[in-house]
Structure 1
Amino acid sequence: MTVTPAPLPDARPAVRLGVAFVPTTPPESLRSLAIAVEAAGLDDLWVWEDCFKQSGVASAAAALAWTERIHVGIGLMPAPLRSTALTAMEVATLGRMFPGRFVPAVGHGVQEWMGQAGVRVDSPLALLREHTEALRRLLAGDEVTTSGRYVTLDRVRLDWPAPDVPLVLGGVGPRSVALAGELGDGLVLANGRTTDEVRAAADAATDAALAAGRPVPDVYATLIAATGPGAQDRLDAELPLWGAQPGRGIGAAGDARTLADGVLRLAAAGASAVAVQPTVDEPDLAGFVELLGREVRPLLDQA
């Protein structure tokens, strides 16, 4: 069956709306979700690269191929797990194959997982800085020779660079957030953040960008959400899975108006885009995505 994407409204809201595909869902379910996100008229689909679950690059490539319009982001590729040259090759390839639609993000990765994989480093911040600086130059088409603490390249140049691909950084701590503002085109935040935490991170990234003479970065936030019967109980059960506690105003549970208000709160805190993350026990994922497009999206357009 061919699914025709819903037409986009003429006026776009101030915040992009998307869906987060988290690796608690099996990889084989991604195709139907990607198609549903596009059919619902949403903007973005974010895939994850959690160890040792799913490949972010493979997931993003497939989702981009199955769709024609939506942006697909990876949040995020752990710098210790991937060589800088390989990351540049993969990012440039997808950026050229799907121009204007791929949003890659790099970050530290979960340190426990990096230790399990045998790639944990003494200074994740130093690695991320070296990785990002070299990666940006490679994507721009430069020949790069560098010998840093962690990143070493000898006359590496991409045959097929992709200078227009945005380079987003992920982080939680203040120094990581500042680095995203200094070096990145955007900041992708972990899920399970309060509105105040999103605002503080957005402000810190903006301050760092302005101090470095760079444009204000986009900020990508996540709203964990549930709707339908037992929505609040399901949300309260979901939050601890991501290190968050109920009762702190994290996430949204209820009808379309409640979900839209949750998105708008994050937008008011500085988020440029919000990916809505359904709960692990979401009984009707296709219906959830359709609700976002049919009912939540118009409420954002009206705001």
Structure 2
Amino acid sequence: MRTSIRVNNDLSDEELTQLVLAAEAVGVDQVWISHDLMLRSAPVLVGALAARTERIQLGIGIMNPYTVHPTEIAMVAATAQEISGGRFLLGLGAGAIDFLAWAGLERRRPMTTTRQSVAALRALLGHDDVSEEDLPDWWGESSFLRFAIPRPVPVYVGAMGPQMRRLAGRVADGALPLLSRPEMFTEARGDVLAGVHDSGRDAARFDLPACVWVSLGDRAEARRVMAEKLAYYGPSLSEVQLAPAGLEPADFQPAADLARAGDLDAAVALIDDRMLSLGIAGSPDEVTARCLELRALGAEHISFGPPLGPDPATAIELLGREVIPALRAAR
């Protein structure tokens, strides 16, 4: 049973270091740092964390091949692997259309671009099972790093839809599917395993975290923090993601309008229990119970994502003291 936390790159170096050190102290296996545009640089943050931590694996989730060429992403990944002593993990995805538009970029051929970029990255980063047919047109005899790394860098795909999840299973070492409802893990796992089967590789070597939103702490406060997240983020979820909960993006628009106008109390009041079911929010007992349901669905790695709780540092302490031991004891 593996665990990880996901944190946003809007945190300061001091805030991030505090959370990651807390996660390492309670036995969390991995930390993933987002690399959203116009915020802090995840590669720089990972470099700082590599010098301050000893055991925990450090991942960037995710970079994209539109703002940075795969060869430069490979340079980042290989250098991070070197300075961390082999603890680095690379997440790659097609990127969000809205974010790319901030930089005047189009997301062209996302499936093909992701497939070719993952293949190129894995080939550059020490993997010897890359299919030549997946490599991009620019690949050639000079496509190799000019320095050695301690071990191959695992490459994960940030996969939301079924096609991208299946692609991740076929070409990558892991996937990072954000589950808009925890119960969607069964569907996500089926898509990924279908891709692994297509590739003929060993499914036991593929890392598939069940990536969920978690808000842990005092029940009322934890639910409010989750409601604030959903008030802002809900309209951006796709119809496919929301349909299993009987929701659609428009259901969140009134709350989003209020939140953006600064009336957060009114926005939170519009987030009902059905909407809150998109994440896991509540006391340690409530969070443990929902996560045990994920274990029963076959999850062998649970990834806890922001907001984490009213006080993220306290939430990580509670994860380590109450939630994670219960998950590891489950069979």
Q: Decide: shared fold, TM above 0.5.
A: yes
Q: Shift of the alpha carbon at 1:208?
A: 1.0
Question: Which one of the candidate residues 119, 122, 133 is aligned to 2:119?
Answer: 133
Q: Shift of the alpha carbon at 1:45?
A: 1.2
Q: Which residue of 1 aligns with 2:232?
A: 241
Q: Which residue of 2 aligns with 1:32?
A: 18
Q: Which residue of 1 aligns with 2:33?
A: 47
TM-score normalised by the chain length of structure 2 = 0.77
* Contact 2:120–2:135, Cα closer than 8 Å, also in 1: no
Give the distance between the partners of 1:152 and 1:175, measured in 2 at CA.
25
Give the distance between the partners of 1:188 and 1:71, measured in 2 at CA.
15
Sort the Cα spacing of 1:117 and 1:267 in 2 relative to 1 into closer, same or farther, 3 A: farther
Counterpart of 1:158 in structure 2: which amino acid?
L
Q: Shift of the alpha carbon at 1:107?
A: 0.5
Give the distance between the partners of 1:195 and 1:293, measured in 2 at CA.
20
Counterpart of 1:189 in structure 2: which amino acid?
P
Q: Which residue of 1 aligns with 2:313?
A: 286
Unaligned segments of structure 1, at least 5 residues: 1-13
1:165 paired with 2:164, answer: no
Give the distance between the partners of 1:214 and 1:193, measured in 2 at CA.
28
Q: Which residue of 2 aligns with 1:77?
A: 63
String of CA shifts for 1:125-184, please: whole Å, max 9, x gaps.
111111111111111288x9x999976245122122445221111111222111101100
Sort the Cα spacing of 1:43 and 1:141 in 2 relative to 1 into closer, same or farther, 3 A: closer
Unaligned segments of structure 2, at least 5 residues: 238-251, 253-272
Q: Shift of the alpha carbon at 1:82?
A: 1.2
Q: Which residue of 1 aligns with 2:218?
A: 228
* Aligned positions of 1:150-299 closer than 5 A: 152-154=138-140, 155-162=142-149, 164-190=152-178, 193-216=180-203, 217-226=206-215, 227-230=217-220, 231-243=222-234, 247=274, 249-279=277-307, 282-299=309-326
String of CA shifts for 1:12-65, please: whole Å, max 9, x gaps.
xx2x22222123433441111111111222222111011121222222222222
Q: Shift of the alpha carbon at 1:197?
A: 2.4
Structure with bigger helix share is 2
TM-score normalised by the chain length of structure 1 = 0.84
Give the distance between the partners of 2:317 and 2:137, measured in 1 at CA.
44
String of CA shifts for 1:257-288, please: whole Å, max 9, x gaps.
222223233333444322223428x4422221
Give identity over the alignment, percent: 29
Structure with bigger strand share is 1
The ranges of structure 1 where at least 4 consecutive aligned residues each deviate by more than 6 angstroms after the TM superposition are: 146-150
Give the root-mean-square deviation of aligned CA atoms. 2.7
